[in-house]
Chain A
Amino acid sequence: MQQWISILLTVVFLGSTIRPSVASSEDRRNSYKERLNSALQMAKDEKYAEASRALYQILRDPRLRDKSAQIRYMLGLVLIEMKMNQVASYQFVDVIKSGDRKYVQNSLERLSMIADDLNNDTLLNYAMKKVKVEDFPSNKRDMVNFRVGETYLLSSSGDNSKEKVSKLKSAIANFRRVPSGSTYFPKAKYLQASGLAELGDTSGALEAFDELIDSRSEFAPTDVNRTAAILGKARVFYQAKKWGESVEYYRRVPKDTELWHDALFELSWALFRSGKFRSALSLFNSLHSTYYDDFYIPESLILRAIVYLYICKYDEMEKVLNIFDSTYANQLKRVNLFMSETGKGSDHRVYLEAIEKIMAAEKKSNQSEKVKGAIPYNIARYVIKEGDFSRSYVYLQKLIEELKRVESQDSSWQNSTVGRYAKKALQLRIKNTRLHIGSMIRNHLIEVRGELRDLEEQVGFLRYEMVNGRKNLVKRKILGKGLEEGRIDDHTDRSFYVQNGYEYWPFQGEYWLDEIGNHHYVGKRSCD
C-alpha cells in the first residue's frame, strides 16, 4: 500500500512539473514545487499526518487556487492512508466539482472505492451517476457494475411506471455484468432476480435465483445467499399465484437460518391462499409462540383469526383477537404516546436515541430495559432490521470510528488546520447522519402506526363476524345441523408416529424450542 501511494504521488507530482506553467512568477512556482516536493517526501516516508498538514497548508494558499485540484487529490490519497475515508471523500468531491479533467477520473475512481467501503447511499449515488465502468481498472469493474445497478434499483422506487421500468432494466443490465467469481456476485444476482420479479418476468427471475442457488452448491445448506435465493423463488411463485410451488420452496428454507421465520410467516399466507387452513393453523402455533414475542408480526394474528373464522372455531378466534388487543393495540398506544411526546418539529435524533437505548439493553441482555424502552421492543427490532436503517447505522458507526481515529492523532495534528477541519467535518457529518437516521425511524414508526390502526379496525370487523358466526352456529346446533366435534387424529394410535421415526407430544400450552415448526393443528371444521 505504501509503495502504491508513493508511486501514485510521484506520478501526480511529475505530472505537475511537466505541465505548462501558469504561475505568475518564478518565485511562486519554485516555492510551490518545493512545498509540494516536501509533502511528497513526507508521504513517501509514510509520515502521512505531516504530509496532510503540509498539503492542507498549500491548499489554503490563495495564490495556488489553480493547483487546488492536484493538491486536493494528493491530500485525499494521504487521508485514505490515514484511514480517514469520509474526510478524503470531500477532497475527491471537490476535485470532481472543479472539473479539472486531469484529476476528475482518478478522483471518481477513489471516491467510488470510498463510497463502496462506507456503504453510504448519498456518496454512492453521487459517484455512481458520474462513473463510466470502462474507465475503471478491470478488477474493480464488478464493484462498479454492482453499485451502479444498486443505485438504479434504489432510485426506481416511487417513480412513475415508464421511468421505473427503464431504471429497473438498467439496474438488471448492470447486475448481469457482475461476473460469477466476484464477491459481489451473490448480491448482484439476488437483486437482478428481484428486479426481474418486479418487472413481472417470472421465468427470468426464477432463472436468476437458480443461477444463484447453483453457484452456492459447494456451501453449507444454511448458506445465507442460497437460503435467500430459495426464499426468493418461493416469493416469485407466490407472486405468480402458483401456491403449490411457492409452498414447496418456502418449506425448503432450512429451519436453522435467520430467514426461516420470514419463510414461516409467508408460508402461512401461501397455505391460506391455497385453502390449506389446517396447515396454515399448524404454522401459526409456532409463529405465535413465546420464542417469537420479539417479532413484529401483527398481520399474522389477523390471518390466524380469519382462518379460525373460516372453519367456525370462534373460541379460538377470540383468543387470537385478545392476543392482538393485549399486544399490538397496547403497542400502538405506546407508539402514539412516544410520537406525540416527541412532537412534530422536534429534533429527530430523539428517535435514534430511543432505538440506541434499546440496542444497548439488547447488547447487555437486559430484558427489563428492553421492555421499558420508549418504543415497544418488537417494533424497535423491526425498525433495526430494516435495510435503510441498518445501512445508515453502519455508516454512522464508521464515521464515529473515523472521528476516534482523528482524536487519537497527536495533539499537534489535532490542533493543526487540517486536524480541526477533519474533526469539524466529521462532527457535522455525524450530526446530520443522526438526524437523517432519526427521520428514517420516524417514517418507519408512522408506517407502523398506520398499519396497526388499519389492523385494529379489522379486528373490530372480525369481532362482529365472530359474534354473528357464533349466533348462527347455535342456531344450527338447535336445528340439529351442527357438525360433529372432534380431531382428525382421534383414531390414530400414538405409537404409529413413534414407529415411523417421529415423537408425539400433546400440546398443553408449553413451548419447547425444538418443537417450533412441528406443531400440527388437528381440529375439524365446525361448520360447512
Chain B
Amino acid sequence: MRVIVGLFVLLIIACVSQVATAADRSNKRNEPISTQLLLEEFKDVIVIQRRFLPKTNRFELLAGGGYVINDPFFHDLGLSLRFGYYFTEFLGIELIGVLWGTMDRQVTTDLREKKQIATETAVVPLSYYGLDFKWSPFYGKIAYDDQTIVPFDFYFSAGFGSTPTSLGDSAPTAHLGTGQIFAMSKWLALRWDLSWNIFRTTSKEEKTTGTQNNLFVTVGTSFFFPEAEYR
C-alpha cells in the first residue's frame, strides 16, 4: 500500500511541479520590479542552451521497483531492469526485464479460507521480457522551491515481449508506456514509468481465453553512459 501511496505522491508532485512552474512564472511577472515588467516585452530573443543530460549515442541502465496497480487479488511487486540505447535525442530502443513477486490481498485470502473458492486459477504474471521503441517528443524543466532547476524528458514507448504467468505458459505481450526522466546530473536521472501490458491467456481447467491488462508503475534510477560528449 505504501508503494501505491508513494507512487501516487510522486505523480502528484510531478503534476504540481509543472503547475508550480507556471505559478512561479506568473509570480515573477507580478514582482514589483520595473525591470522585469519592462523586460518581458523585449522581442526577437530566444534561448538556446546545451542539454543538461544529452542522450544521443548513449546507453541508459535503469534499476527500479514496480507495482501493478490494477490487480484486485494480489499485490504484485516487481524488480525492473531496463537497458536502452538512444540513436538521437528523440528516439531509442530499450530492453525490459521485470520479475514479479506476488502476495495475496485480504480479499483473496478471505475467498480461499472463508468461502473455499480456489484462487489458483487466477492469472498472475511472474515476469515480463520485452523490447520497446522509445520516442521523447517533449522536454521541459521544473523549478523546485525557487532553488533548483531540474530538466526532464517526457517519453512514450511501445513494444512487444513475453509474460510468463502462473498458469505455466508464456503469453505474447503488447506493451505501451509513458514516463519522465528527471536529470540529476549529466549521468544520473530519476525516472518513473507507467506501463500497460496486454496479453491473452487460456485457463487449462476451464479452457477459456481472456485478455489480461497489467497496468504497472515503475520508479527507479537511471545511469547514462558513456560520458556525454558536447559539441
Contacts and interface: CB of A to CB of B under 8 A. Distances in A.
B90 interface: yes
B43 A505 contact: no
B25 interface: yes
B40 A508 contact: yes
Contact of B35 (A288, A315, A502): A288
Nearest to B143: A512
B44 A487 contact: yes
Contact of A518 (B28, B47, B88): B47
B2 interface: no
Interface in B13-54: 25, 28-29, 31, 33-36, 38-52, 54
A515 B25 CA distance: 14
A523 B44 CA distance: 5
A326 B31 contact: no
A288 B149 CA distance: 21
Contact of A327 (B34, B47, B48, B89): B34
A501 B48 contact: no
A503 interface: yes
A267 B183 CA distance: 31
B142 to A, nearest CB: 11
B179 to A, nearest CB: 19
Contacts of A323: 34-35, 38-39
Interface stretch (A33-41, A143-151, A492-500): A492-500
A510 interface: yes
A518 B143 CA distance: 18
A501 B230 contact: yes
A282 B42 CA distance: 11
B42 A498 contact: no
A522 B141 contact: no
Contacts of B114: none
Interface in A199-240: none
A319 B41 contact: yes
A98 B89 CA distance: 79
A242 interface: no
A218 B51 CA distance: 28
A513 interface: yes
A488 to B, nearest CB: 9
B45 A515 contact: no
A498 B89 CA distance: 7
Nearest to B139: A503
A523 B52 CA distance: 27
Contact of B47 (A293, A487, A499, A519): A519
B46 A506 contact: yes
B56 interface: yes
Contacts of A322: 38
B45 A521 contact: yes
Given A498-B90, A500-B231, A501-B231, A288 B40 contact: no
Contacts of B50: 501-503
Contacts of B47: 503-507, 512, 515, 518-520
A442 to B, nearest CB: 28
Main DSSP-derived SS at the A contact region = mixed
A307 to B, nearest CB: 13
Interface residues of A, number: 41
Interface in A464-520: 487, 489, 495, 497-515, 518-520
Main DSSP-derived SS at the B contact region = mixed
A498 to B, nearest CB: 5
Contact of A504 (B40, B45, B46, B149): B46
Looking at B33, B48, B56, the one whose CB has the most chain A CB atoms below 10 A away is: B48
Contacts of A501: 50-51, 54, 56, 89, 230-231
A279 interface: no
A204 to B, nearest CB: 35
A316 interface: yes
Contact of A522 (B34, B46, B51, B88): B46
Contacts of B44: 487, 521-523
Contacts of A500: 231
B49 A285 contact: no
A397 interface: no
Given A288-B39, A501-B56, A513 B46 contact: no
A183 interface: no
Contact of B149 (A282, A289, A512): A512
Nearest to B55: A501
B33 A293 contact: yes
Nearest to B89: A498
Interface in A311-326: 315-316, 319, 322-323, 326
A274 interface: no
21 contacts: A285-B39, A285-B42, A293-B36, A323-B38, A326-B38, A327-B34, A495-B90, A498-B51, A499-B56, A501-B56, A503-B151, A505-B47, A505-B48, A505-B49, A506-B46, A509-B41, A518-B48, A519-B45, A519-B47, A521-B45, A522-B44
Of all A-B residue pairs in the complex, the 6 with the closest CB atoms, nearest first, are: A509-B40, A523-B44, A518-B49, A505-B47, A507-B45, A326-B34
Interface of A: 282, 285, 288-290, 293, 315-316, 319, 322-323, 326-327, 487, 489, 495, 497-515, 518-523
Given A326-B34, A509-B29, A514-B141, 5 more contacts: A282-B45, A290-B33, A499-B88, A514-B52, A518-B47
